[in-house]
Each structure stands twice: as structure tokens, then as C-alpha cells.
Structure 1
Amino acid sequence: NCIEASPHNPAAAYVVATRYKFGDLRPMAYYTQDYGKNWVRAAQGIEREDFLRVIREDPVRPGLLYGGTEAGFYISLNYGRQWQRFQLNLPSCPINDLAVKDNNLVAATSGRAFWILDGLEPLRQIGNPGNNSVQLFKPSPTIRFSTDTPDKPIAGLGQNPPDGVLIYYFLPEGPDSSSFQLNILDDYGNLVRSYSNQQDNEFKKYDGGPKAEALLPDNRGLNRFYWDMRREPLPGVPGIFILGSYEAGMVAPGEYTLQLQMPGQVLEQNFSILPDPRLDACRLDYLGQQEVLVSIEQAVRDIHRSVRQMQEVKNQVENLHSSLKKIECTQELLDASQNIVNNIKDWEEKLVQPKQKTYQDVINFPNRLTAELLNLKQRVDAHNPVVTEGARQRLKELLSEWSQFRNQMRKIINEDIASFNRLYREYQMPAVILPLGAE
């Protein structure tokens, strides 16, 4: 029924025979490694009445066999001397043929169309099946590519694999209170992205804000996780709706390191991100794209951090202003505090748009500086890394605007706030203000 020549040894082959038409449903498979002079049976472990239809040997790991039977799927790690069922989510059905394509195994079935097992790294790298220690598997080289696959599946359409690097790790124990991290480092050892299995208790979701970071699965046994090939996401401004994506840009092709930090041990694996061979782009193009993206991201981080800091200052001054109004206080001090609040509010509204509450509000309330930067980031963060001169010029304009607003912020801090603090000391106002009538 099937003859499989070994891709590793020219003297080795596998033969699958069937006699089901004669009422004999036994699995029949034989293996030779001396050009057919001697044969050994290679069907141990397959159910007695589940006859084999096809065997394929993995092109990467010698002795790793994939077997398709009348009722399902089996694997062997030792040239067929012992098989074990590997059904996963495949319904019980006949498997007529198997093919290994790159890092995927494709099964042709009767009644269930095609079934694809993607990500063969664990099978290719797993050691002794009895090994019960933490394992981090080396990811396959991944092409830097981005699709428009929707976040939620659409009924009736096929399912694409997620974009990014497929990562597998094995945990001998199930979930507990222990935390662990998965870090991605570039070839200079710089941290690119970090994930954890623990939720960020300080994260609060709000409309127009960043999404919660993906959590590492911590199930007992084999765990699977995708890295989207992006740096750490950008922070938001709590409560402020900003039109745009908080995703950082995709990294450039190159060499990277996976680092699994477990309590008491650190495991590492190197892997590669490859450029799309269809693109006419060189390394300088990718470096140029990264330079622009990092500049945009750093500007957004600086702006949002500054806005949050100035919001905190504004809240302090507003509370103090409210307290000062309740006691006998000079009007000069009240005017100075109100001036700070007004100046911070005017400054803030040039950077973010607090009136936007939905995606349609941009029609009535124009985007501000950070939304413009996020829009530019989305346009530069393209599959093709070549950055247009128009994009570079637009970035220059936006960074110039931020430089002006940063100077305004410094003026508020160095002049308005400093003047208010000086007045506060001159009028010898107390640190704790008691309202009128308090005893």
C-alpha cells in the first residue's frame, strides 16, 4: 500500500501492506536498512484491528515516523519499533496519505478533508519520553510576514495560523502560584519583549486604550505560544480614548534568543527571523524602517508618560485650589493655582484628544499629536520595509511639534509651578489645610 524510502539512509525503507479486503485488519509494516536483504516488523503498539495505510519518515529527525491508519494517527520515535497514538483533535477517520511540508504535517483523510499538524519542533527535538524536566524547544526559522487575519474567526472561512514565531515549552507540573517569564532578546542581548504567566493586577481596560498583554500558558505538559515579532506594546493615558494601535513595530530579520526564566533555572534557545524572499529589500532597508519605528515609539512613550505626570500635577493643584478656597487665602495664590490648571489642560489637549470617546468621534474632534504618531507608525510598519521620504518628513514635523510642547511643559514646571511654590512658602500656608470652623 505504501513504500517510504528513508530521507536519511539510502539503504533504509519502510513498506506498508494491507489485507483488509481479505478480512485481515492487522497493521502490517516492515523496515529494512540493508537495501531489502533483511526486514523487521515495525507495527508494535498499533491497535490490532487498525490497519496501516501510510508511513512517512520525518526529513529532519531520523527514526521519527508518522503513521496513518484506518482509524487515526500514530507516531514512532524509534524507527517503528514502538508506536503510540497521537490523535490530538483529529476525529477518528481513515488517513489515506501523509506529507511533511517544511514544519507541518499534512494528512489526507476520508471524510474529514485535510488535517494539518503545524509546529513539529517538539517531536523533532524531544529526548527520552521519560524525561520529566522543563524543556524549551528551539523555534524553526520564521519568515517576517504579516497578514490581515481578523482577530476573531469568521464563520465559513479557513483558519490561518497566527502570525509570528511558534514557541513550545514543556512543564512537568501544572499551574501553581509560581511565576515564570519568557524573554526575547536581540543579537546584542537587548530585551525586545517579555511575557509572564501572571496577570498584571495594575492593568485596567478602557475604551481606546491598550489591550491586556497575552499570558503564557502554564499547563502541565506541552505548552504552545506565539510571539508576534513585535516589541513591547506602547502605554496609553488612562481614561483617554486614542485612535490607533498600541502595538509596537515588527522587529527586523536577524538572530534572536528565547529565554525561559523558571524558578531556579534559565533555559535558552536561539532562533532566526528571515526576510520575505519575495521582497526586493536589503538589510539597510530594514534598519531604516526600524530607526523610524523606534523614533515614533519612543516619542509616544515620552508623550504619554509626560501627560500622565502632568495630569498628576494638575490633580494635586486642583485639590489644593479647592482647599485654599475654603480658608482665608490671598487671591494671588488662588489665581496662581488656577493658572497652572488652565495651562496644563491647554497643553494636554494639544497632545491627546479627551473629547473622543468612540472611533466615530474623530469626525467632530480632530486627532492630536499622539494619534498622528500612531497613524504614521501603522503606515511605516509595513511588510515592505522601504520607508518613503514622505513618511520621514512627516516624522520630522511631528517630532518638531513634540519638541515645542515639551518646552511648554518645562516652562510650566520651571516657571508656573516654581512660582506657585514660592508664593505658598511666602504666605506660610500649612501643609495640611483645615476647613473653616474645624477645631
Structure 2
Amino acid sequence: TLDNRVWSVDALYDTGAMSKYATLTSISESPVVEGLLYTGSDDGLVHVSEDGGQNWRRSALPKVPARSFINDVEASNHDSNSVFVVVDAHKFGDYYPYIFMSNDRGRSWKSISGDLPDDTIVWVIKQDHIDENLLFIGTEYGIYFSPNKGVNWIKLNTGVPTIAFRDIELHQRDHDLVGATFGRGFYVLDDYSSLRDINGVINEKANALFAVRDAWWYVPNEPMQAKGMPSQGTTSFVAENPPFGAVFTYYLNDIPETSKEVRQKSEKTLREKNASIPFPGWENLQLELSEDDPKVLLLVSDENNNPVRWIKGASKKGLHRVNWDLKLAAPNPITLTQPAFKPPWVGDAEGPLAAPGTYKVELFIAHNGTLQTQGEPQEFMVKAVSNTTPGADFKAIAEFQGETRELSRQISSAGRKLGEAANRIRFMKAALLETPKATEKLFKDLNDLNQQLAELRMRLYGDPARQRMNEATSPSIQSRVGQVIYGHWATRQNPTETQKRNIEIARDEFDTFKGDLSIYFNDLEAYEAA
């Protein structure tokens, strides 16, 4: 044992987990040269064969405790002479992260542990198939990557538990990293390709937007009108899918500081020196109150440079991701209130899908009324999954849904104006009761305005009396558009003739409605001025 004692045979326990030595623990064939083999064993030895296993030579690792455990051997994806080895000596009380690289087929080795913490056992190592300098390791405490072949190591923290990752694999087609933990399941980092450029971006100390993987265009399935598996209970576990749509990865090195942050940083320096902190002045404090925090925005545009959608992003220093759900902005009026409870089947307001095609995204920082672009725009494709009805015209579908969205937006705006008018009438009714000089005509005119408002609401939304009793009623302007949204936006099929006719009727009726609404507001304002 570690204290150089020999114990009784009766003290042996769990001997099945002990090394018997001379047992191979890993093997790797070079992807570059056929028959170039490397093996590692549980006695700390590495052997090399250059003739498909006919002959072997022993390779000595420097400064590794005797009879250590070779956790992994990986031949380089790029260089026929390069190979990587990770060693585990924790059974001797040594938790140092032994990672080595050889550039001469194991004849000599150098450590690439870099700046890893000293007590980090390493279980597995992988090399990217495109960038030879990009390495990944699974350790006792998580996953690390190195953009410079082991000089520096960076831990992947977000969404990853601090637990042993015993194996990792790199998916070459999709550029995904898959990690297998010791008892906590599998974790997937989707599209790690941005890490190939992270070293240059960090060295340049610049904000940057990375290349975007092409996005698949389809309608995600939501059973029982809710995401996930709402009817299966907690015992039926399924992990979340990757975010739907296009995923944008960006790096922030420099974020504008607010006046308050600049002041607090200066005061911190003075405080550390035990110096007095001067009063900043009322004008500066007022400026701090009126100043907004900087915001990170990403603008998606189509192939004709027409803006499609603003996407909000995190505004802290570091590496971030945000996704665009391939949809246009929702037509609903903006509301800043949040309900105390939202049922799982009630989602956020959404617009229709944008058409497949070529898009680009740009990174911006908005601060103090300025909008400054960051880094270079990135182009990407939105590609339709080929499982739709034959003859579906995606461009025509998107145009029809876009027209429906715009009509819905205008109807929602008109509805909000009706709500504002109702609120004004409510206050005027209360004011009349507090006005002794109010004439009979004022009461009558206000009642007429209230009746006209009810008629306008009925034209826009339908008969409320019949709706309350679940009685059939003539379609309203809003219901015609709403039926098309409900029946067509969740599909990738051409609109039916009924759907097209509904939008045509709704548009004609709404054009007349807008004129009547304008006349009504003129009458309302004239009454208020009386």
C-alpha cells in the first residue's frame, strides 16, 4: 500500500477492480498510416507497431510513476508521426494530469499538461479532425479544451456538471462533442466548430461572431399542445433536443461600461488604498439614472439584405450562444407585463416561419443611442427537410404567411386602439358625474360614442353575446385571420383556397373598418374638446 505495508490476505477487498498488469487498456491505429498501432496497458507501458502488429517496440514515458495506468492512447488525425497519451497514477496517491505528445512515433515525449490544475486526473483525449491544435480531454472534474495543443486548457462549464467524464467522442459530420460521465449520463456540445477560431479571437482581443452551421427548416412536433412529453409523467425522461433553428455563437471581449460602472471601478481603487471617495456630483448621478445598460443584438437579414429579425443576446464578456427559431417577429402588440402563472400549453407569441434560403447574421452592441457592428457578418443556409407534400412552394407559402402576419399585426393594433378608446370613455363617464354643469347632450353623445365603440368591436372580434353562449356567429375580421394562422402557420403546405379566400375577405373588411375607426376617433376627440 502507499505506506509500504504488506497486509493480511484477509484484508483484501474488491480485488476484481485491481490491475493485474500487462493488460491492454487502450489501442489506437493511425488514421493516416495503415498498420501503425499504439497500445497502452495498466502497468504504465506504451508499445508501438509499425507493421500491423507483427513487431512491437516499447516506448518509455518520462517522469511517470512505475506501474501507472494508461487511460488512453490516441494517434493523431493529421500527422502520421504524432500520438497522444494520458496516464493515471491516482492509485499511488498521485493525481497529477499526465498528458503527453510524441512527434516521432513514441521515441520521445513531451508534457502538454499546460496550465491544468495539478489534482486533475485525465481519462481521455481527442484531437479535432480539422484543426490539429484543438484538443479535448475528459477529466475527473469535467471537460477541457485546448486551442493551442496543450499550452493552455479551458474548462467547458456551462451546462456541464463537475463530474468524471470517462469518455468523449467527436462527431465529424456535425462537429458535435459527446461526453460520457461516470453516473450522470451523456452530454452533447452541439457544433463546437467555433472553438477552432477562439484562439485567434482571444489573441486579437476583439468581439467576434463565429461561422454559423446551416439550419434545417421544419415544424417541430409538440404533442398535446406542449413541448416535451407532457402526458407521460416524470418517470418517462427524455433529454431536450438542440435548440431549433439557427444557432449563433459569439465572443465578447469588450463591453462598454456605464457611467456608474466607471465610477464604482474608480471608487474600488480608492477604497483599496484606504483613500477618501469624492462625491461624484448631482449631474453625474442623474446621468447614471438615465443611462441604459449596453445590449447585444443580432440582426438576421435575407439574401436581399432585407432585415428579418432582431435577436437579443447575453451582454457579458465571454463565449455565448443564442438561437433564431427561423420565424418572423410575432404580430402581437408588445406587452411588458408578465402573468403570475402560465400553463405549459400556453407558449410565447410567435410569427410564421421565414422561407428557406440564404441568410446572414450581424452582431451589434447598442449603447447610449448608438448601434455599432462587431466583427464580420456570417452567412448561412436555411434548408428544408425533404418530407413535405409534393408541389409545396416554400417561397409562396412564406409570402402568404407574411401577408397574414402583417394583417394580423394591423388588426391587433386596431384592437389596442379600441381598448384605449374604451378606457377614455370610462374616465369620461366618471368625469361627467363630477361635473354639475354637464348637459343632457353630453350624456347622450357619450352614450352614442360607447354604442359605436361596441359596434366596432363586434365587427373586429365578433358578437360577444353569442360567443359567451357558444352560439354560432358570423366570422369576424379577427376570427378569419386567426383561423388561417392556427390552421396554416404550423404547416409547410400550400394554403388552401378557403384560407386564401378568408384572408381576402378579412383584408377587404378591414380596409373599410380602418376608415370607420378613423372617423370614430375624430368624433371622440371632438367630444373630449367640447
TM-score, length-normalised on structure 1? 0.73
1:64 aligns with 2:139: no
| Whole-angstrom distance in 1 between the partners of 2:347 and 2:502 | 19
Q: CA deviation at 1:75?
A: 1.2
Match of 1:247 among 325, 350, 357: 350
C-alpha change, 1:3 and 1:335, in structure 2 (3 Å) is: same
| Whole-angstrom distance in 2 between the partners of 1:315 and 1:87 | 51
Q: Which residue of 1 aligns with 2:64?
A: none
Instruction: Report 1:205-220 matches (<5 A).
Output: 216-220=313-317
Residue deviations 1:334-387, cap 9 Å, x none?
A: 76664454233212223226959xxx97957978432442342233223x5222
The residue type equivalent to 2:494 in the other structure is: V
Residue deviations 1:374-420, cap 9 Å, x none?
A: 342233223x522243xx42232243134124324424645x777x6
1:164 aligns with 2:234: no
| Whole-angstrom distance in 1 between the partners of 2:169 and 2:373 | 36
Q: CA deviation at 1:281?
A: 6.5
1:266 aligns with 2:373: yes
Q: Which residue of 1 aligns with 2:60?
A: none
Instruction: Report 1:221-370 matches (<5 A).
Output: 221-236=318-333, 246-262=349-365, 263=367, 265-267=372-374, 268-280=376-388, 285-312=393-420, 327=437, 338-352=447-461, 363=470, 368-370=476-478
Instruction: Report 1:48-127 matches (<5 A).
Output: 48-101=118-171, 102-127=174-199
Q: CA deviation at 1:84?
A: 3.9
C-alpha change, 1:334 and 1:53, in structure 2 (3 Å) is: closer
Unaligned runs of 5+ in 2: 1-25, 27-71, 259-291, 338-345
* Secondary structure in structure 1 of the residue aligned to 2:353: coil
Q: CA deviation at 1:170?
A: 2.7
Larger-Rg structure: 2
* Secondary structure in structure 2 of the residue aligned to 1:170: strand
Instruction: Report 1:163-182 matches (<5 A).
Output: 163-172=244-253, 176=258, 177-180=292-295, 181-182=297-298
The higher relative CO (CA closer than 8 Å, separation ≥ 6) is in 1
Match of 1:193 among 304, 309, 313: 309
* Secondary structure in structure 1 of the residue aligned to 2:144: strand
C-alpha change, 1:152 and 1:113, in structure 2 (3 Å) is: closer
* Secondary structure in structure 2 of the residue aligned to 1:350: helix
C-alpha change, 1:272 and 1:44, in structure 2 (3 Å) is: same
| Whole-angstrom distance in 2 between the partners of 1:222 and 1:381 | 34
The residue type equivalent to 2:322 in the other structure is: F
The residue type equivalent to 1:41 in the other structure is: S
Q: Which residue of 1 aligns with 2:299?
A: 183
Say if 2:404 and 2:503, in contact at 8 Å, map to a contact too: no
TM-score, length-normalised on structure 2? 0.62
C-alpha change, 1:217 and 1:227, in structure 2 (3 Å) is: same
The residue type equivalent to 1:306 in the other structure is: A
Say if 2:388 and 2:492, in contact at 8 Å, map to a contact too: no
Say if 1:288 and 1:386, in contact at 8 Å, map to a contact too: no
Instruction: Report 1:147-158 matches (<5 A).
Output: 147-148=220-221, 150=226, 155=234, 157-158=237-238
Q: Which residue of 2 aligns with 1:207?
A: none
Q: CA deviation at 1:302?
A: 1.9
Using the aligned pairs only, state the percent identity. 20
1:137 aligns with 2:137: no
Residue deviations 1:246-284, cap 9 Å, x none?
A: 311111222222222225630242232432444256896
Say if 1:139 and 1:168, in contact at 8 Å, map to a contact too: yes
| Whole-angstrom distance in 2 between the partners of 1:20 and 1:412 | 81
Unaligned runs of 5+ in 1: 197-215, 434-439
| Whole-angstrom distance in 1 between the partners of 2:437 and 2:521 | 21
